[in-house]
């Protein structure tokens, strides 16, 4: 307390720097996005986000997020459970693998799939023989998105579940609960806020991913374009209003995520603090 009050100049100076930085690099661009999107009026905005290609991009983005997020919830919980509650050989290796998508450039992630499933890739001939399309099609986009978003849920849950230990689960089992009852009634409630937090981050990334998806998508308008890819195409065509209109939807998603994230963080802290010793 004493130290905080003794140097008001330093304190206000730091706050000013932080606010200025945020305004310059975050608020201003965000305002520009919405400003540009609405520069030709609400009608132009409306038609830009409702034209068939834009709608197709929105639909694809929702589809990809709708599949990859639930899958990563399952993977994430399974991986975090295994790592946090059991000891097994290769555990640290598994942790490193989970972190891999964070350390690898998304473009490389996309290229991995091209290398595997592309026409010239290892499995390309076989796939073509069986008439299965992965690269330049929805499955490829899905795979790339799952790869990039994999760590979010697991990373959020591992420290939380490690900290909680096995006592609660063992107590539940000793009282006669089955494994499923234990998971549903004890484990899941214990991790729900951390899980929700991870899901939000995972979802935001799934909808906003550009690099990995760009490599595997093929940019077929109305077919394999997600929202971020659609924005780029419109922008390259000097269709600024439409580009910024679709971009503003993504920005809106970011803002909603941010608000939800704050609420979850608040609840999360409350529960952790309230449940402590």
Is 178 among the residues that bind another protein (CB under 8 A)? yes
Rounded Cα gap, residues 110 and 203, in angstroms: 18
Give the count of beta carbons closer than 10 Å to the beta carbon of residue 124.
17
Is 47 among the residues that bind another protein (CB under 8 A)? no
CB 34 within 8 A of CB 251: yes
Is 181 among the residues that bind another protein (CB under 8 A)? yes
User: Using the rule CB under 8 A, which residue among 170, 237, 265, 269 binds another protein?
Assistant: 170
| 46 to 54, 75, 172, 245, 264: CA distances (angstroms) | 11, 38, 54, 8, 32
The first and second tokens of residue 54, run together, are 């834009």
Is 42 among the residues that bind another protein (CB under 8 A)? no
Give the count of beta carbons closer than 10 Å to the beta carbon of residue 145.
29
- Interacting span for another protein (CB under 8 A) from 3-11, 171-179, 201-209, 223-231: 171-179
Q: Which of residues 59-88 bind another protein (CB under 8 A)?
A: none
- To the nearest whole angstrom, how small is the minimum distance from the Cβ of residue 164 to another protein? 10
- Interacting span for another protein (CB under 8 A) from 17-25, 64-72, 104-112, 165-173: 165-173
Is 183 among the residues that bind another protein (CB under 8 A)? no
User: Using the rule CB under 8 A, which residue among 120, 167, 236, 238 binds another protein?
Assistant: 167
The three-point CA angle 247-250-253 to 5° equals 155
- Interacting span for another protein (CB under 8 A) from 6-14, 96-104, 186-194, 249-257: 186-194
- To the nearest whole angstrom, how small is the minimum distance from the Cβ of residue 167 to another protein? 4
Rounded Cα gap, residues 117 and 144, in angstroms: 12
CB 227 within 8 A of CB 61: yes
- To the nearest whole angstrom, how small is the minimum distance from the Cβ of residue 266 to another protein? 17
> Residue written as tokens 């640290």?
92
CB 83 within 8 A of CB 89: no
- Interacting span for another protein (CB under 8 A) from 44-52, 174-182, 214-222, 231-239: 174-182
Alpha helices in 184-239 (DSSP H): 188-208, 211-217, 227-236
Is 174 among the residues that bind another protein (CB under 8 A)? yes
User: Using the rule CB under 8 A, which residue among 104, 115, 116, 173 binds another protein?
Assistant: 173
Residues that bind another protein (CB under 8 A): 167-168, 170-178, 181, 185-186, 189-190, 271, 274-277
């Amino acid at each position: 307390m004493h130290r905080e009050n003794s140097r008001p100049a330093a304190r206000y100076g730091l706050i000013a720097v932080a606010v200025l930085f945020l305004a310059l690099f975050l608020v201003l661009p965000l305002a520009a996005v919405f400003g540009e999107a609405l520069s030709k009026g609400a009608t132009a905005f409306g038609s830009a986000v409702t034209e068939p290609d834009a709608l197709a991009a929105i639909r694809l983005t929702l589809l990809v997020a709708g599949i990859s997020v639930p899958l990563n919830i399952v993977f994430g919980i399974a991986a975090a459970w295994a790592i946090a509650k059991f000891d097994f050989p290769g555990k640290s290796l598994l942790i490193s693998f989970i972190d891999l998508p964070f350390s690898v450039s998304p473009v490389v992630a996309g290229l991995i799939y091209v290398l595997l499933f592309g026409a010239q890739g290892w499995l390309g001939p076989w796939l073509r023989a069986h008439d299965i399309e992965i690269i330049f099609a929805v499955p490829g986009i899905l795979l790339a998105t799952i790869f990039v978003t994999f760590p979010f849920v697991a990373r959020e849950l591992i420290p939380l579940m490690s900290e909680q230990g096995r006592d609660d689960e063992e107590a539940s089992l000793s009282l006669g609960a089955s494994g499923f009852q234990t998971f549903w009634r004890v484990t899941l409630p214990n991790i729900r806020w951390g899980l929700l937090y991870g899901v939000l981050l995972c979802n935001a990334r799934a909808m906003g991913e550009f690099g990995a998806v760009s490599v595997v998508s093929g940019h077929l308008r109305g077919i394999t374009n997600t929202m971020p890819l659609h924005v780029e195409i419109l922008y390259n065509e000097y269709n600024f209003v439409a580009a910024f209109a679709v971009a503003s939807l993504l920005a809106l998603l970011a803002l909603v995520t941010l608000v939800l994230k704050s609420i979850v963080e608040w609840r999360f802290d409350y529960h952790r603090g309230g449940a402590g010793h």
